[in-house]
Amino acid sequence: MSTQLRPTDVKRLNRQWRRRTEGRLALLVESVTQPYNLGSILRTCATFGVDRLWLTGNSADPDDPKVGKTALGTGAKVAHTRTASTGDALAAARGEGFKVVAVELASGAVPLHAAPLEPDVCLAVGAEDHGCSPALLSGADAVTYIPQIGRVGSLNVAVATAIALAEARRREWAAFGDEADAPVGR
Ligand SMILES: C[S@@+](CC[C@H](N)C(=O)[O-])C[C@H]1O[C@@H](n2cnc3c(N)ncnc32)[C@H](O)[C@@H]1O
């Protein structure tokens, strides 16, 4: 019977995955204004080992107490840099050797499973109301979208971020097969 891992087992499991994960992953957040969304994004960044985070546009402030409600203490684990413009954020990501892949329902975008997400990749997500700016879409090396089959316009930005970051990590982890099963609970 499967049972939930204890916190110490989860820490050990996380450590195993951390040791075997080599690809660098980054995120560019453009004008995500809702603190709860940013907090959720920060927690996902900490979960998947995002190395670098750029905030641009009028993105919420990571130090806003409302961000902490969903970041749950993980915000401090992700170093972030705020840039004056999207162009500056793109240049900074490139300067650190990342390919930038914008995540957006946009013309010319490729579905997520076919996107060039190999390391070192910086994913980029856009605003809750108007999505990624034209500057971000035209400045990115590639654009990818998450296919949807329901009658919905789009995903919540924090959820879209989590799906895309998980897929980027999955590409590397898939090579391990099932050799890193979770430990048997006691
Ligand atoms: C709520 S959506 C933006 C709304 C939409 N562009 C509009 O104008 O109605 C916020 C962000 O979430 C991400 N997103 C949401 N659903 C997505 C999907 N199916 N594929 C790719 N990105 C998505 C994108 O980064 C987008 O900029």
Per-residue pLDDT tens over the stretch 48-84: 999 999 999 999 999 999 999 899 988 778 889 999 9
pLDDT of residue 186: 43
Let me know how long the chain is.
Answer: 186
- Residue 119 half-sphere exposure, CB side, CA atoms within 13 Å? 13
Residue 131: DSSP 8-state: B
- Residue 95 half-sphere exposure, CB side, CA atoms within 13 Å? 8
Per-residue pLDDT tens over the stretch 118-154: 999 999 999 999 999 999 999 999 999 999 999 999 9
* Distance (Å) from CA 53 to ligand 1 centroid: 19
Tell me if residue 110 falls in helix, strand or coil: strand
Where do the domains of the chain lie, and which CATH numbers do they carry? 23-177 (3.40.1280.10)
- Token representation of residue 94: 């490139």
Please state the pTM of the whole predicted model.
0.94
Give, in degrees to the nearest 5, the angle at Cα 142 between 141 and 143: 140
* Distance (Å) from CA 5 to ligand 1 centroid: 34
pLDDT of residue 182: 65
Query: Whose CA is closest to atom 5 on ligand 1?
Result: 131
* Distance (Å) from CA 37 to ligand 1 centroid: 13
